Amino acid sequence: MKANEKAPAVASEHGASEINQLDNSISEKLLKEFISIRNQFLPLYSKTGLLSVEGRNGIQLREEEFLATFPDYESKPFACESSTCTGELFTTFEGVRFFCIR
């Protein structure tokens, strides 16, 4: 790719054609898909230790469920606005990063 060329747009299989690359707006159809995904995952959020599914960071669990599920993990310091945060615990399962903030 030459220095003045734009990188090709990369999008997931679903909704790739729904994103307007000129102004980054999201179509109503794709917004409704987001709502559907949210509704599918609400029971998981309320009945398990799942806190967040993130593209870059992985899957965030509550500390109690993380520790009960993953006996082997790594840790690193974690800075947050609250003085109660002391670190991040993390591990990889089937190529996906799982973590919790303690």
Q: How many CB atoms lie within 10 A of CB 41?
A: 12
| Whether residue 25 is found in the same domain as residue 38 | yes
Q: State residue 54's pLDDT score.
A: 85
Task: Report the alpha-carbon distance of residue 37 to residue 8 in Å, rounded.
Answer: 26
- Cα–Cα distance measured from residue 82 to residue 95, given in angstroms and rounded to the nearest whole number: 30
- Tell me, yes or no, whether 27 and 74 share the same domain: no
Indicate whether 71 and 92 sit together in one domain.
yes
Residue range 28-42, pLDDT digits in tens = 999 999 999 889 888
32 plus 71 within the same structural domain: no
Q: What is the mean pLDDT of residues 1-23?
A: 48
Residues 63 and 87 in one domain: yes
* Residue-number span of the structural domain to which 28 is assigned: 18-47
